[in-house]
Amino acid sequence: MSEPKEFEDDLLYALTRTGEGFRAGQAEQADLVAGGYRRGRRRWRRRSTAAVVGGAAALALVGTGAVYLTGASGAKGAGTVSAASAPTTTAGAGPAATPTTVKSSAPTVITGDEVLATFQALLPKGETTDGKGRGTDDDRTGGTFVGADVVFDDGQGKSLVQIGIQKHRPNQGQPRSCPKDFKLARVDSCSVTTLPDGSQLMLQQGHEYSDGRADTKAWIASLSGPDGRDINLSEWNAPAEKGARDSRPNPPLTFDQLKAIVTDKSWDRTVAAVKFDGIDTDAIDPGLSLPDREAVLAGLLPPGVTVTDRSGSALTATFRLGQGQEAGSLVLRVENWAKSVDNPAQQAFKDAVVLPDGNKVLVLGGPDSKDKQPLRVTVLHPDGMEVVAAQGPTGRQLLTAEQLKAIATSPAWKAKK
């Protein structure tokens, strides 16, 4: 990743992504679930994509980056089955039966018990213990994730088996891919197949630790569907993901059995109930093209400072600036929250300075700040337009805090959609 791109991603995520990090309740949710879910997803990415060689940093879209269950015991909502109270059961034939697809005109609530029961019914014959489930009624994930895990024993040794389900908006899912270097990733086999319905299925056999500190094996089935479903199933040849002695030579489920579980139609009802994760970027797109934003910016720059180049996407752009022989840059993000149900204003701007015209202003970073991050000004306009103006990754700092503030607070920023 180039230095400017890495800077822009880090800046917009870690410092100015107010729309995601400060939505009511989301900060608390992140504290509770990030440790388990996101560590697992980072592990899955390292093993399952080409990023295993060069490293991955999908920071700017962290709200859309999928995470999956790697420790359902870490947080348990109402309706889940605790390890202490979960009964020992014997799973039935599971996939041999043809589940009935339940169609609903509106999303319903799926409890952790229901997710766990569906999962257990799809497992082959064997004994399951320590079952735990998380449903859409778990307020720690806001209905954007469900999952379950069990310790499964087919008579050949205990194995931890886990499943997690999320749902992504169009074009916000992560394409399935295998690592480029199997040896480096400690992957024995991996394949990605496009199914008749357009879903992508990845099947992978590898190890829990890519550095070889232990020989515990981890086998994965990962499905992404046209409706946004993201179903991830993992199994180990040990009764715990980490810190347990291997109990069998290989995990119990074959590739065919893994595929049967993640593609089973009995998950349709669950997928329908799961809320889309992340921010709906289409909903907050102000309809301002790069030329539109450059035209507005050019009229707001101080005398002598001009735009010399631009790059970016629908919401975020980096503008190269020039002033005589000096060069600098500006990162600009423009969003329209007027029609979005995810409007972050109440929480994100609770400590903002409110100007007489109703603009809410946050000034963060700068050379005197504790975090030593670039200076940025974030403004929420009364009409729902949010503008972030920040010092860019290249050249000198040509704009002062007051000049950035003048840019971000200008009434010239008007949505076209």
Cα distance between residue 252 and residue 360, in whole Å: 56
- 19 and 121 both lie in a single domain: yes
> Are the beta carbons of 359 and 381 closer than 8 angstroms?
yes
Residue 85 sits in the same domain as residue 52:
yes
Beta bridge partners of 222: 202, 232
Q: Are residues 240 and 306 in the same domain?
A: no
* Token digits of residue 227: 């409706």
Contact yes or no for 57/46 (Cβ under 8 A): no
Q: Do residues 191 and 178 lie in contact, with contact meaning Cβ atoms separated by under 8 Å? A: yes
CATH number at residue 393: 3.40.1000
Kindly state whether residues 370 and 246 are assigned to the same domain.
no
Q: Of 273, 302, 334, which residue constitutes the final position of a domain? A: 273
Evaluate whether residue 51 is within a structural domain.
yes
State the residue range of the domain holding 248: 3-273
pLDDT at 287: 92
Distance, in Å, from the CA atom of 183 to the CA atom of 202, rounded to the nearest integer, reads 18
In a domain, 415, yes or no: no
Give yes or no: residues 157 and 254 share one domain: yes
Cβ–Cβ under 8 Å, residues 388 and 333: yes
Neighbouring C-beta atoms of residue 184, cutoff 10 Å: 12
Same domain, 127 and 205: yes
Is residue 414 domain-resident?
A: no
Query: Can you give the pLDDT at residue 65?
Result: 29
- Whole-model pTM: value is 0.61
Q: Are residues 256 and 288 in the same domain?
A: no
Q: Does 315 lie in the same domain as 393?
A: yes
The answer to whether residues 120 and 221 belong to one domain is yes
What local confidence, expressed as pLDDT, does residue 89 receive? Answer: 40
Q: What is the SS3 string spanning the chain?
A: CCHHHHHHHHHHHHHCCHHHHCCCCHHHHHHHHHHHHHHHHHHHHHHHCCHHHHCCCCCCCCCCCCCCCCCHHHCCCCCCCCCCCCCCEEECCHHHCCCCCCCCCCCCCCCHHHHHHHHHHHCCCEEEEEEEEECCCCCCCCCCCEEEEEEEECCCCEEEEEEEEEECCCCCCCCCCCCCCHHHHCEEEEEEEECCCCCEEEEEEEECCCCCCCCCEEEEEEEECCCCEEEEEEEECCCCCCCCCCCCCCCCCCHHHHHHHHCCHHHHHHHHHCCCCCCCHHHHCCCCCHHHHHHHHHHHCCCCCEEEEEEECCCEEEEEEEECCEEEEEEEEEEECCCCCCCCHHHHCCCCEECCCCCEEEEECCCCCCCCCCCEEEEECCCCEEEEEEECCCCECCCCHHHHHHHHHCCCCCCCC
Statement to judge: residues 232 and 371 lie in one domain: no
**Residue 268: inside a domain, yes or no?**
yes
Nearest C-alpha neighbor of 129 from the set 94, 96, 167, 87: 87
Phi, psi of 213 (to 5 degrees): -65, -20
- The answer to whether position 216 is within a domain reads yes
Structural domain ending residue among the three candidates 273, 306, 339: 273
The verdict on 327 and 200 lying in the same domain is no
Distances (CA, A) of 27 to 265, 302, 310, 396: 34, 37, 33, 34
User: Is the separation of the CB atoms in 313 and 331 below 8 Å?
Assistant: no
Domain C-terminal end among 213, 241, 273: 273
In the chain, the number of structural domains is 2
Q: Is residue 416 part of a domain?
A: no
Q: Which residues of the chain have pLDDT under 50?
A: 1-106
- Please indicate, yes or no, if residue 138 is contained in any of the structural domains: yes
Instruction: Please report the pLDDT score of residue 374 as a whole number.
Output: 87
Q: Which pLDDT belongs to residue 399?
A: 93
Supply the pLDDT for residue 84. Answer: 27
Residues 268 and 149 in one domain: yes
